[in-house]
Amino acid sequence: MADNMMEEIQSQSDNYRSSSSSASSPITKLPSSHFYYLRKPGSLRNPISFEDSPDWDDTDVELKVEEVRDTINAATTTASPSPSKLNSRSTSSSSPPPPSPPPPVARKISGASIVWKDLTVTIKGKRKYSDRVIKSSNGFALPGTITVIMGPAKSGKSTLLKALSGRLDDSAKVYGEVFVNGAKSSLHYGSYGFVGRKNTLIGSLTVREYLYYSALLQLPGFLCEKKSIVEEAILAMSLNEHANKLIGSHCCTKGLSKGEKRRITIARELITRPHLLFIDEPLYHLDSVSALLMMVTLKKLASNGLTLIFTIYQSSTEVFGLFDRICLLSNGNTLFFGETLACLQHFSNAGFPCPIMQSPSDHFLRAINTDFDRIISVCKNWQDDNGDLSSVNMDTAIAIRTLEETYRLSADVASVETMILRLTEREGPLLKSKGKASSVARIAVLTWRSFLIMSRELKYYWLRLILCMMLSLCIGTMFSGLGHSLLSVEMRVAAIFLFISFTSLLSVVGVPMQLKEVKVYACEDSNGHSGGFVFLMGQLLASIPFLFLISISSSLVFYFLVELRSEFSHLMYFVLNFFMCLLVNEGLMLVVVTILQDTFSSISTLVFIHIVMMLSAGYFRIRSALPRLVWMYPLSYITFHTFSIQGILENEYSGVSFAVGEMRTVSGYQALENVYDVSPNEHSKWKNLYILSFMAICYRVLVFLLLHICVKKNVSLFRFVCCKMKINVAQ
């Protein structure tokens, strides 16, 4: 009895699998003519403005389908009726139809085609067994369509996307040809947009503010024109409801979701009105609802003439249905290039039909992802309620070879080659570079934007101001009432040393915000919106008011509590000296943050550097008595504490004498002789101030150099040096 029941269950399971295999692809049920067409670029309605796009006659010419099975040739499609029209048809004829809104003003829209032929990318050390990350890839993307580069992790998706957009590192070597509008030309500024995988935004700005400042950085022209462009980008990415909300969490305000932030990064690239848009993982870390909303928004952009190319790892069935073409990669090899539904037929022809209840993208990745072999080996004796763990009962390496061979022998390859030949046989209009804002204008924009960020962020300078005020109050009250006798000199030196050293050490609380600014600069500089000099000047000019506020407020509290010299000129020198000390410290922070590019590492390193500088500043042991190797040369001469404290002491005790008994007096220099090394020259305090100014300039120049070495390569200096050493050793 039990055996009969088991046989019946097994037969039902076999019938279910056979039925799922036979119904795996809707192509087998419907005529192929329903699926093997492309939309005419710009045929859909309600375009966003790309009026400055080049005119390309091909976008206005209707292409006829020459072969029913040709999955590449383009043809026009009839726009599907809207739901409102369908409802109006089903209502009673007695009720008059509602008045239709006026048609939108039609603007001529033209996009740009991009073709890659025999594209091979090699990166030394990128792969374990081979340096070839992309191997002889062929494909194209047309205006008004979405082309998706899909594949498992480390399959070469992002490398192919960067190769097409011309954003690979110098270490990568590219072979093959890339055509834009039929010509071998590189993409110029403004003609394309590139959106990275991470959302690098400024949380203390609203959506409209952030996009407006981005427009000021990217575009020349008048302010009114840029405002209209920003509003178009907001409308295009469906951000109307969030335009006046802060991007990130600020105080008690909740920030935007990941999907909304992702749309902001895309809207930033739409400001230049590009003809091609490259996006690396637009659905990265998005839930199903946000992912679907993102894809609908991108579909609307593509339908208005924009050429969209992006990478994706996995998608739901609804999202998968919005793709126009798929380039399927595995370990750099192209397993398929063609239309979405044709990919289902390709897998079915290769012997891997997609089950009914499974997402096509899940099925594709399951068949070509080698990580599943490890899962199968772990769970080889386990079966779920529906039977086997997967419908692909074959080793992944064999499946990849089967799919690759099937694609190589299929008609899809010939169709791709035919379309590439058609797109490259004559040249279209060249995509010209669009104008940039001047350096002076960008410095002004970055200065005001940084000033606005610093004023809104509590952790940037306001927290440091409060902590410095409290520390000045603590040190001042602790050393108050010293008097002006010879015995007070040593205690006053200790107070000045503690004030300069600890207030400088408190600056580490601003490391997270400094790191955030460096990351924002890296993102903007990679897209040509900013530059090293522009970033440093804007950041410097914006920080000066806050640093001066910290210096004057803390100095006033400390100066009068410790009872330093009451002349106004001496007070202003103390304030100026402390201001320059903070300015040098800001440069040191930027250097460390740029090198390490990590919050914890930067804070730990800065604390260690400050401790070493305190030890070599000449307080715990006079500089002349320090060990000459390392401690005196070079540490004591690169420690800004040394020159700041020297200048303050010379400002305080220059020209001062102390009575010793009734007949003898001791000068201030003699009083400090056994406490701290100072110069007897009356003008030496200004020399120390010049040295601090020179240090501040040197740190900024060093940051400028590090921005080109580390930030542009998106790697820390340690990793950069290690990679270089590894390459040299290998050579």
User: How far is CA 264 from each of CA 117, 204, 214, 313, 643, rounded to the nearest angstrom?
Assistant: 33, 14, 11, 21, 47
Question: What phi and psi values does residue 18 have, to the nearest 5 degrees?
Answer: -65, -40
Check residue 371 and give its pLDDT. Answer: 63
Least confident of 292-306, 611-625, 657-671: 657-671
Give the confidence band of 728 by pLDDT, cuts at 50, 70, 90. Answer: very low
Q: What is the pLDDT of residue 316?
A: 84
- pLDDT above 90: percentage of residues in the chain: 49
pLDDT at 110: 60
* Confidence at 432, pLDDT banded by 50, 70, 90: confident
Mean pLDDT of 112-117: 93
Residue 104 predicted with pLDDT over 80:
no
Spatial CB neighbours of 195, under 8 Å, sequence gap ≥ 6: 265, 266, 269, 277, 278, 279, 280, 282
The closest alpha carbon to 531, from 446, 432, 591, belongs to 446
Q: What does the pLDDT look like over 242-261, one tens digit per residue?
A: 999 999 865 556 789 889 99
Q: Can you tell me the distance from the alpha carbon of 104 to that of 96, in angstroms, rounded to the nearest whole number?
A: 23
Q: Over 598-619, what HEC string results?
A: CHHHHHHHHHHHHHHHHHCCCC
- What pLDDT does residue 673 have? 86
Reported as a pLDDT band with limits 50, 70 and 90, residue 388 is: low
Indicate if the pLDDT at residue 382 is higher than 90.
no
Mean pLDDT, range 67-75, rounded to an integer:
34
- Under the banding of pLDDT at 50, 70 and 90, the label for residue 141 is very high
3-state secondary structure 233-275: HHHHCCCHHHCCCECCCECCECCCCHHHHHHHHHHHHCCCCCC
In the predicted model, is pLDDT for residue 531 greater than 60?
yes
Least confident range of 159-168, 315-324, 534-543: 315-324
605-663 pLDDT per residue, tens: 999 999 999 999 999 999 989 999 999 999 999 999 999 999 999 999 988 888 887 77
pLDDT, one tens digit per residue, over 482-523 is 888 888 999 999 999 999 999 999 999 999 999 999 999 999
